Amino acid sequence: MNTLFDKIWDAHVVQQVTDGPTQLYIDRLYCHEVTSPQAFDGLRARGLRPYRPGQIFCMPDHNTPTHDQDKPIEDPVSRKQVDALTRNAEEFGLTHFGMLHPNNGIIHVVGPEQGLSLPGMTIVCGDSHTSTHGAVGAVAFGIGTSEVEMVLASQCILQAKPKSMRITVNGKLGTGVTAKDLALYLMSKLTTSGATGYFVEYAGEAVTSLTMEGRLTLCNLSIEMGARGGFIAPDDVTFEYLKGRPYAPQGAAWDAAVEEWNTLCSGPDAVFDKEVTFDAAEIQPMITYGTNPGMGIGITEQIPEPKNASEQRALDYMQFKAGTSLIGQPVDYVFLGACTNGRIEDFRAFASIVKGRKKAEHVIAWLVPGSWKVVEQLKAEGLDKVLEAAGFAIRQPGCSACLGMNDDKVPAGKLVVSTSNRNFEGRQGPGARTCLASPLMAGAAAVMGMIVDPRTLMP
């Protein structure tokens, strides 16, 4: 009752279906190439056109290669999917940031960066990491392709209202402890299904003191606790970030918007269906050892004993033993990027560790900015020079090695320290072994050639 989630949700209710879901109005629909083609086909089969084309934004990201984007995509099946999005956007008059368009990138990096995702909005996309946009104070969640078709057809979705949960993290995060570590810590405590059925509001000093990039990382990972979405009430950090962004309101409209957005917070009398509280001082740099993101430990901790057959199967897959530390474990690949950690701040963090050092010879490192804007900014800050001097190359934007859909796949049996969001079996390539971690941990692994506590390399 009277939570920020209630306020935003209730303001978008078109009707409550009798003994059924809510018909919810959607402010923004983002479409990428993987989960939209069947929805556009469905629309055509029903003889419809998008109901509110101005509220729909399309861009390819999952299949895009991270090199030679000026050439045709080599994989014909990937090319077909990317081309289908271009054609669908053209046919239906939708805004489309195609490959090499200056606004292209990973949809969850681009939305906030362009000021398309704004406080108080309802935002959906056929992608579970749509929860990312909650960082601007929006109700944002991932949907299936049938639901994409619903929004195309009616700008609405039928959805049961989730329960509300507040996760409060008090105190300050320690040195070398990032938003990624905070999220991995929450998952390790709550498990991958601990927030299923809930929409999460993040609060507390450790959350509000995060930068916008950090907030985007935290909200991105809400789904990995099972949550429908996660968000942070908008504040001055949010407004500062959004001000002047291309699609954000400008001038007098901006002032009016901020005035309205300032009312977007849970009331002092707000009642959540569930509340949990954590202490930031308990959190250290985190790393995962298993095959779901909830199987994580602090870097100085040891791998726990498996509690059931599923956990034993995970350890067998990862070739790790309970009771051992991950420190010193040799690393084959390092991946910096994804909608989780592909923003400018993530590149700054990675660069801060590798500066003045050299990439370990045997490590293959993929550094993939989340968008062309991120590429532009890291060049403007001279980070490209720092990274190149340390033996790293910067690739072109896309989802890359996060999900094994494009060329960037980790070979079977190889261990990758990855800043992405999922360590499922085969996620980064059949047989690939993934340890999820922060950009600091990834940078440390890349220069040392093994898993180390990044704090030992910090200035």
Both tokens of 407, joined, read 């060329």
Rule CB under 8 A: choose which of 58, 107, 110, 156 binds another protein. Answer: 156
Point out which span in 18-26, 236-244, 341-349, 444-452 binds another protein (CB under 8 A): 18-26
DSSP-assigned letters across all residues of 306-375: P-SHHHHHHHHHHT--TT-B-TT-B-SEEEE-HHHH-SHHHHHHHHHHHTTS---TT-EEEE--SBHHHH
Kindly report the number of other CB atoms within 10 A of residue 205's CB atom: 14
Q: Say if CB 201 and CB 231 are below 8 A apart.
A: yes
Rule CB under 8 A: choose which of 56, 118, 150, 334 binds another protein. Answer: 150
- The yes or no reply on residue 47 touching another protein (CB under 8 A) is no
Point out which span in 20-28, 105-113, 243-251, 434-442 binds another protein (CB under 8 A): 20-28
Kindly list the strands in the beta sheet with 364-367, ordered across the sheet, starting from the edge strand earlier in the chain: 364-367, 333-336, 415-418, 433-436
**332-391 positions binding another protein, by CB under 8 A:** none
The gap between the terminal CA atoms of the chain, to the nearest Å, is 46
CA distance 139 to 121: 6
> What minimum distance in Å lies between the beta carbon of 270 and another protein?
22
> What minimum distance in Å lies between the beta carbon of 405 and another protein?
5
> What minimum distance in Å lies between the beta carbon of 200 and another protein?
12
Rule CB under 8 A: choose which of 6, 61, 147, 407 binds another protein. Answer: 147
> What minimum distance in Å lies between the beta carbon of 35 and another protein?
7
Query: Which residue number, 406 or 419, has a Cβ lying nearer to another protein?
Result: 406
Query: Which residue number, 84 or 237, has a Cβ lying nearer to another protein?
Result: 84
Rule CB under 8 A: choose which of 98, 158, 171, 450 binds another protein. Answer: 158
- The yes or no reply on residue 116 touching another protein (CB under 8 A) is no
Site mask, another protein, residues 168-187, x = CB under 8 A?
Answer: --------------------
Rule CB under 8 A: choose which of 66, 114, 132, 155 binds another protein. Answer: 155
> What minimum distance in Å lies between the beta carbon of 23 and another protein?
7
* Amino acid in position 48: L
89 to 40, 53, 58, 67: CA distances (angstroms): 9, 9, 7, 24
Name which of 163, 183, 165, 164 is nearest 173 in CA terms.
183
CA angle, corner 350, sides to 346 and 354, nearest 5? 165
CA distance 434 to 436: 6
- The yes or no reply on residue 66 touching another protein (CB under 8 A) is no
Point out which span in 109-117, 122-130, 176-184, 333-341 binds another protein (CB under 8 A): 122-130
CA angle, corner 190, sides to 188 and 192, nearest 5? 80
Residue that the structure tokens 């405590």 belong to: 189
Query: Which residue number, 25 or 381, has a Cβ lying nearer to another protein?
Result: 25
> What minimum distance in Å lies between the beta carbon of 216 and another protein?
18
**74-113 positions binding another protein, by CB under 8 A:** 75, 77-78, 80-81, 84
Rule CB under 8 A: choose which of 95, 168, 170, 196 binds another protein. Answer: 196
CA distance 329 to 233: 40
- The yes or no reply on residue 146 touching another protein (CB under 8 A) is yes
> What minimum distance in Å lies between the beta carbon of 148 and another protein?
9
Rule CB under 8 A: choose which of 86, 95, 154, 352 binds another protein. Answer: 154
Kindly report the number of other CB atoms within 10 A of residue 307's CB atom: 8
Name which of 123, 53, 118 is nearest 88 in CA terms.
53
DSSP-assigned letters across all residues of 214-265: HHHHHHHGGGGGT-SEEE----HHHHHHHTT-TTS--HHHHHHHHHHHTT-S
- The yes or no reply on residue 424 touching another protein (CB under 8 A) is yes
Classified as helix, coil or strand, 4 is helix
> What minimum distance in Å lies between the beta carbon of 17 and another protein?
5
Point out which span in 168-176, 213-221, 381-389, 424-432 binds another protein (CB under 8 A): 424-432
- The yes or no reply on residue 422 touching another protein (CB under 8 A) is yes
> What minimum distance in Å lies between the beta carbon of 351 and another protein?
29
Kindly report the number of other CB atoms within 10 A of residue 3's CB atom: 21
**208-237 positions binding another protein, by CB under 8 A:** 223, 226, 228
Site mask, another protein, residues 240-279, x = CB under 8 A?
Answer: ----------------------------------------
- The yes or no reply on residue 42 touching another protein (CB under 8 A) is yes
Query: Which residue number, 186 or 403, has a Cβ lying nearer to another protein?
Result: 403
- The yes or no reply on residue 127 touching another protein (CB under 8 A) is yes
What phi and psi, each to the nearest 5 degrees, are found at residue 450?
-155, 170
